[in-house]
Structures are given as C-alpha cells and as structure tokens.
Structure 1
Amino acid sequence: MSGTRAPEEAADGVWSTLRDLPPSVITLLVGIALSRTGTFIAVFLTLYLTARGHTPASAGLALTVFGVGSIVGSFASGTVTAWWGARQVIVGSMLLSGLAVLGVAFAEDYRLLVALAFAAGLFGQMYRPAAAAMMAALTPPQRLVMVSAAARLGLNVGAALGPMLGVWLLTHSFALMFVVNALTHLAFGLIALFLLPNAREGQESSDEAPAVSYRDVFKDSKYVLVIVAMFLTGFIESQYQAVLPLQILSEGHPAWLYGTIVTLNGAIVILFELPVTRYTQRLPMRTTIAFGSLFIGAGLALFGVPAGIWVCFAGVLVWTFGEIISAPSVVAYPALAAPTDRHRSRYIGAITTAQIGGYALGPAVGTYLFQIEHSFVWIMCAAVGLVAFLAMWRGVREPEQALA
C-alpha cells in the first residue's frame, strides 16, 4: 500500500479546503469552538470550592470525580453515538452538561455538588466522539486531516480565550461564570438540534447489519497498539501541567517562565498548525503520528536538563513541533482506520478515552516521581515517548479510505 497520496488525490490548502466544506461541517466547527471557549468548570472548580469553604482535599476529590466522569463519558459516547446518531448525542451532551454545570453553581450540599461534577464531566465529554464521527462522515477522507486541524484551531483558541474570560467573569461572581459556561453548552446544543444533519451512523438500525461493539475494536491488534500509545502520549504530556511548574520553581527560575512556556506552546499551535498541516497531510500517517509522539517525549525530557532558561525554550519548541505534526492526524486517524462506518464511533471513543485516561493518571505518577527524584519524571517522559513512538510505528497503518 502506498504511503502517500497521488497529487490529484491530495488535499488542497487551508482556505480551499475550508471554502469547499459543507455548511454543516462549518457549523460543527463553530459549535465546537464556542463550547470550548465557554468551558470553565475544569479550570476553576478547585478554586470555586475552596472559596466556598471546602478543604483542598475535598476540592481535589470533586475535580477527580469530574475527571472520572469525563473518561466514562468519552467511552460511552462511542456506543451511544452508534445507537442514537451523532446529532442526538451532541444535543443531549450539551444540554445535559449545561444543566449539570448550572447545578454546580447553586448546589449547597457537597455530595450533590460532587454528583453534579461527575455529570458535568460525563455529559461534557460525550459530544467529542460524536462530533468527530459526524465530522468524518461529512468530510471527504482526503481532507479530514486538514479539517481536523481546523477543529483543533477552534479548540486551541477557545482554550486560550476561555480562562481569560473566566477570570473576568469570576471577578463579578463564580455563579455568573458557571451560568455563562452553561449557556455556551446550551447554545451549542441548540445549534446542533436545528442546524446539523440527522443521520444515523452507518445506518446501524438496519436489521441486516451485524452488531458492533468495543470488542470488535480490541480485536484489531494494530489499533490496540495505537490506543496504548495514545494513552502513553497523554500520560507524559500531562506533566507540563503537573510537574513542569514545580521543576521551574525548584531550579530557582521565576514563576513567569512557566506562564511564558505555556503561552508560547499555545501561540505556536494556533499560528502554525494549520499551515504546517498543509504539508504534513501529504505524509504517511504513521510518520506524522509516530514521530509526533517521539518529539513530544523528547521535548518534555529537555525540561529536566539543568542548563538554564534557554533549555526550557528548546523543550517547548520540540514538544510543540511534535504536537503540531501529529495532532491533526491523530484526530482524523480513528475514523479512517475503522473498517466500516458502523465501527467509526467506537474507534473514536476508544482512542479519546485512552488520551483522557493518560491525562488523568499522568499527574499522580509524575508528582510522585518528582518527590523521589526530580530527574525521574523527565527520564520517564523520554522513555515513554520512545515506547509510544515504537507502538505508533507498529500500529498505525495508512488507511485505504484516506487514499480513495
């Protein structure tokens, strides 16, 4: 099987790709960006609970429960999307998550608040595999990598603007911040209800169609390698949030350095991922995905080199380069790797869950290793990044759908 697309089959540039997209895909991209910009609960939940008089441990428990809900929601979405259709899941996810977030703002009982945090995580993540499945169904396969990069642009811009908007809102009140969070989710739900197409994935309602489950996904041994590698990549990438600020302070660097590094990462991704994807989409997916994991691990490992501030900037450049070259292909790959349309949502749900699970577990392990010996964390990032590279290289196959 050829690893590259023929010139006449290759996707066009950024603007020509976006210009020719169906209006429903543009609507979906706008809705995703809107929802991400208005999502504040994960960032401010701990601060909100401690401000209300709860202990840091209680706040941490609520955030952990929110994370568990996110994992469950992303996994369940693969099956629910196949049963009910992507539009229905997006609508239900956004409406129910909006109501859960609204409940968090006004709940007085701690146990109820924790239950609502779980619901907010559960329903707040269910839309992701459904949206990815819809995007794959509505986008020509040869353009899916570029469209995935456009979706990531909306998410990254939202991730950059959201916390700033949240800080401004909480200067008025936490309740107002969560109300706005709820309204953005409700708005995306209504957009999906009235403007997105209503199509069951793969026509799974047909009596002649054999049943599909996650068991079928895990029978695909090569894709299981990709799932494991995606978990490992999320596991090490989470260390930039959990351990990097501790590392910077332990070396005597000013706190602003951490903020600068995170801002630089976001700015580079926002400015350069779409233009770079114009070229990387023509490469074999195995190359971009596998080497992306390798560069992410190598870039994070550089943060442990005691060579002054300059090595921190070298680290963020290498790490961000890995993210830029791999992330659009990672987003597009599950839909293209699925053997049939009916498998699509499960393939997407499995890899989304793996990534979220890596992000959830990574901070606990990273901070534990940091307490033992600072360098262990960054050695781990290099080693795990290499393992992820090897698993991706072995597991990713150039999908025939992408070459059609």
Structure 2
Amino acid sequence: MQLDTAPTAAPTPNPARTSAVQRLFGGLPRQFWIVALGTLVNRMGGVVVPFLVFFLGSRGVSEDATGYIVAALGVGGLAGSVVGGWLADRVGARSALIFGLLAVPAALGVLYVMPSAILLGVAAILVGLAGRLFPPAAGALVARSVSGERRTRAFMLVHWAVNIGVALGAGFAGFFAARGYWLLFVIDGASSVVFAVIIALGIKRETVRTAVPTGKTGGYGVVLRDKLMLAYIGLAFAAETVYALSEYALPLAIRVDGLSPAVYGVTAVVNAVLVVVLQPVIYPLTVKFGRLRTLGLSYVLVGVGVAATGLASSAWTYAATVAVWTVGEVFGGIVAGGIAADMAPAEAQGRYQGAMQWVSSLTRLAAPLLATALFGPALWWLTAAAGIGGALVLARLGGKFKARLAAA
C-alpha cells in the first residue's frame, strides 16, 4: 500500500468574509497606506479652523472682523490649492507634501501670536494657504501608486480616513479648547509634523513614480485646455457648493426655527456616524452600479437632501434631511476622487488634484454668500435644481466620460 505523504492542507478561511475584506482593503500598496495613515492622523488633529470663530472671540475680535478673517482663510486656500498642485508636479509629490505639512505649524504659530484683527487676517491667509498646499500632493501620491479599480478604492478609503479623523477630532476638540486655545494650536501643528515624519520615513524618494523629470513641469494650461475636465470641474463646483450649504444654511435654518444649537450638534453627529458606517458597506454596490451613475445619484441626493432643509422644523426632521444628503455624500466620496485622478495625464496629477482642491476652496467662499443672499425658498429650490441638473448634464456627457476613463 502506498502512503499519501502530501502535506495536509491548511483550513480554508471563510470565503465570504475573506472576499469582503479583500475587496475593500486588499491589493493596495504600502505607499498608499502610509498616506492614508498620515491623513487620518492629520485630520484628527485639524482642530484650529473649526474653533477659529471662538478663538477670535476670545481675542476680542468683533463679529464683522471675524467674518473678514474667516473669508481671508478661504482666500489663502484658493492660492494654496493652485500652488500645491503645481509644486507636486514640479518638485515631486513627496517633497511637496512634506513642505506643505511643515508650513502648517509655522502658519498656525503666526496666527496665534498676532495682536490685532488686521494682522490676524493676514495670518489667516497664510494658514489657508499652508492648509491647502499639501492635499494635492497627497492625492498625486495616491494616484501614482495605484491604477484601475484599485485607484477608485484607494481614494474612497482616503475619504473614509478623512471622515473618521474629523469625527474623532471633534470628539475631543471641545474638551481641549476649554483648557486653552493654545492647546488646539499645539495639537493641530503637531498632527501635521507627525504626518510629515510618517511620509519622510515611510516613503523613500526613489520609490515615488514620476512621469517627467523634475523641473520640466508647465503650468495649469494642461488643465484649462482639457474641456472635459473643465466640465467635470464645473459639475464638482455646483455639487460641492450645494454640499457646503450644510455648513452655513443648515445652522441658519435651525436658528431661524428657534431651535437650540444642540440640534445642529445632533445633525453633525448623524452625518459623521453615517459616513463612517456606510462608506465601506456601500462601496461594493457602487462597483456594480458604475462610477458615473453613482456620481449622478450623489448629485441628486445631495441637492434634494439639502433642499429638504426648507421643509424641516424639528430636530428629527432636520436629522432626516441630513441622512439623505449624507448618503449622497458617501456615494460622491467613493467615486469622485478616482474619476479626477483617471482624467489626469500621469505627468499632471498634482495640477489636476490642485484644480479639484481649488474648487473645494472656492465653494467655501461661494456657499456663505449664496446662503446670505438667497436664504429662504429660493435657495432650497436652487439647490434641488443644481443637484438634478448636475445629474442630467453628467448623463448627457456620459459617453465622453466613459471613453476617457476607459483609456486611463
């Protein structure tokens, strides 16, 4: 009798569990995980800007001056997005990321010590600029480390890390603010330094894939000549402006209804929890649904959800409207970043990411103006029209987008 000497096979893991985890986290390179980890740390520590109004109040800055200083922050962000994207393609995404991150604590230090409203406004421009210098480089590093379906998944996970970090940071920021605003500045600056150290130690210069030699990069003409990308930027601007109204028009509506600020706190918790919980759950569905249809659905849900704010009158109805546009936010967060990366030529990833960051910065200036000028039924009808109209335009251009993305 011949004995079977083959080794005994190892127990087979649960296929369903393994495949679910693998579909979400598998096949992504070390470089991506380093950027994702640093992003999580950085967003957990990003606590100065959310409490900037309270910090300025503690310095005796008037309400009018506070508005100008917050606007100055947005102006700096516009400049930082453009410079950061160009720098990522010019000197390399790794170097640009480290430089931008180290600029943040320096700018925060300047803001903290400024003695007057005018100087605080100047410092706010620097903070806004520094805070937007590094995201295009981080996006370029992610885009250059993966391609195809993995790129979509990578940008989705970065968006997820951002929301987890913001949710965790919000949980302890108020506690530290009560013990002195200087502590918020220390935490915020330290989180950027930690991110820079993670990148410096985790990603060696020679492992970063670049498509063009350093110093051969042009300007933003490559983006401006790309008509399809300009259409995508226009759609993103409309969608993100509607979403940004949740930061301005929503609390204003709650105040007008005579409800407590705690109601706005409840809506913030609903948004954060739903994003963190739903994003990994919904991702497999969007793979089957298709990126463009997912993005169109995102436009509709965000537009209609924010518009429904005009119908709300209690804590529960406000929470219900937030749930609607939060699902839209999740859909958009899963696919939008990967689409922008696939639209970009390999040698211009930084500038394309910078253009998208610029749009995000611009919406933070446009939304408060829009909310102030049109608050009421006109604003809610406009947001619904923008969401539905954006989806229709995307569907109209769907063939061109599909051809472009298929070639990525």
Give the 3-state SS of the residue equivalent to 1:281 in structure 2. Answer: helix
Contact 2:91/2:214, CA 8 A, preserved across alignment:
no
How many residues were matched structurally? 387
Preserved CA contact (<8 Å) 2:242 2:303: yes
Instruction: Report the residue type matching 2:44 in the other structure.
Output: T
Shift of 1:99: 1.2
Contact 1:70–1:125 (CA<8 Å) still a contact in 2? yes
**Counterpart residue number, 2:51:** 44
Q: Which residue of 2 aligns with 1:364?
A: 369
Gaps in structure 1 of 5+ consecutive residues: 1-11
Residue 203 (structure 1) aligned with residue 216 (structure 2): no
Give 1:382's aligned amino acid: A
Conservation of the 8 A alpha-carbon contact between 2:145 and 2:209: no
Equivalence map 1:181-260=2 (5 Å) = 181-198=188-205, 202-205=210-213, 212-260=218-266
Shift of 1:283: 3.1
Query: 2:99 maps to which residue?
Result: 92
Can you list the C-alpha shifts for 1:125-174, whole angstroms capped at 9, x where unaligned? 11111111100111232112222121112111111122332211122211
Alignment of 1:106-117 (within 5 A): 106-117=113-124
| Of 65, 69, 79, the match for 2:72 | 65
CA positional deviation for 1:108: 2.7
Whether contact under 8 Å (1:223, 1:395) holds in the other structure is: no
Aligned twin of 2:290: 284
Larger gyration radius, structure 1 or structure 2:
2
CA distance in 1, matches of 2:352, 2:288: 23
Q: Could you tell me whether the CA contact under 8 Å between 1:14 and 1:274 is conserved in 2?
A: no
Q: 1:195-222 deviations in whole A, cap 9, x for unaligned?
A: 1242666432279x7x543222122222
Structure 1 residue 329 corresponds to structure 2 residue 335: yes
Work out whether 1:377 is the aligned partner of 2:379.
yes
Offset, 1:76: 1.8
Compared CA separation, residues 327 and 83, structure 1 to 2 (3 A): same
Secondary structure in 1 matching 2:205: coil
Tell me, in whole angstroms, the C-alpha distance in 2 between the residues paired with 1:86 and 1:198. Answer: 10
Code of the residue aligned with 2:239 in structure 1: it is T
Task: Show the counterpart of 2:358.
Answer: 353
1:400 positional shift = 5.9
Letter in 2 for 1:87: R
- Alpha-carbon shift at residue 79 of structure 1 (Å): 1.1
CA contact (8 A) 2:295 2:335 kept: yes
Q: Is the 8 A contact 2:84 2:100 kept in 1?
A: no
CA change 1:309–1:172 in 2 (3 A) is closer
Q: Is the 8 A contact 2:300 2:388 kept in 1?
A: yes
**Using the alignment, how far apart are the partners of 2:332 and 2:43 within structure 1?**
21
Residue number in structure 2 paired with 1:398: 402
Query: Deviations along 1:325-351, whole A, 9 cap, x unmatched?
Result: 12221111111112x201222222112
- Is the CA contact 1:212–1:342 (under 8 Å) kept in the aligned structure 2? no
Residue among 275, 290, 294 paired with 1:269: 275
Within 5 Å, give how 1:299-310 maps onto structure 2. Answer: 299-305=305-311
Alignment-derived partner of residue 11 in structure 2:
none
- After the TM superposition, which of the residue ranges 163-172 and 388-397 deviates more from structure 2? 388-397
Bigger CA drift: 191-200 or 353-362? 191-200
Contact 2:257 2:313 in 1 (8 A): no
Matched, 1:294 2:300: yes
Distance change in 2, residues 1:346/1:280 (3 Å): same
SS at match of 1:304: helix
Shift of the 215–99 alpha-carbon distance from structure 1 to 2, 3 Å rule, reads same
CA offset digits 1:49-88 (Å, max 9, x no partner): 1111121222222211111111211122221111011111
Letter in 1 for 2:235: A
Superposed CA RMSD: 2.3
Change (3 A) 1:194 1:308: closer
Structure 1 position 312 matched with structure 2 position 314: no
Q: Partners in 1 of 2:50 and 2:119 — Cα distance?
A: 20
Unaligned runs of 5+ in 2: 1-18
- Contact 1:102 1:178 survives alignment (8 Å): yes
Where does residue 140 of structure 1 map in the other structure?
Answer: 147
Q: 1:112 to 1:128 in 2, by over 3 A?
A: same
Asked whether the 8 Å contact 2:339–2:405 carries over to 1, the reply is no
The question of whether the paired residues in 2 share the 8 Å contact of 1:239 and 1:366 is answered with yes
C-alpha separation between the residues in 1 aligned to 2:154 and 2:350?
A: 18
Range with bigger deviation, 252-261 or 99-108: 252-261
Partners of 1:331 and 1:402 lie apart in 2 by 16
Contact 2:152 2:338 survives alignment (8 Å): yes
CA deviation profile, 1:364-404 (whole Å, cap 9, x unmatched): 1112212xxx2122111111212322333344613666677
Distance 1:390 1:345, change over 3 A: farther
Match of 1:101 in 2: 108
Q: Counterparts of 1:309 and 1:170 in 2: how far apart (Å)?
A: 26
Q: Is the 8 A contact 1:142 1:402 kept in 2?
A: no
2:297–2:328 Cα contact (<8 Å) kept: yes
Query: Deviation string for 1:235-288 (max 9, x for gaps)?
Result: 111111211122223334444332222211211110011121122034332211
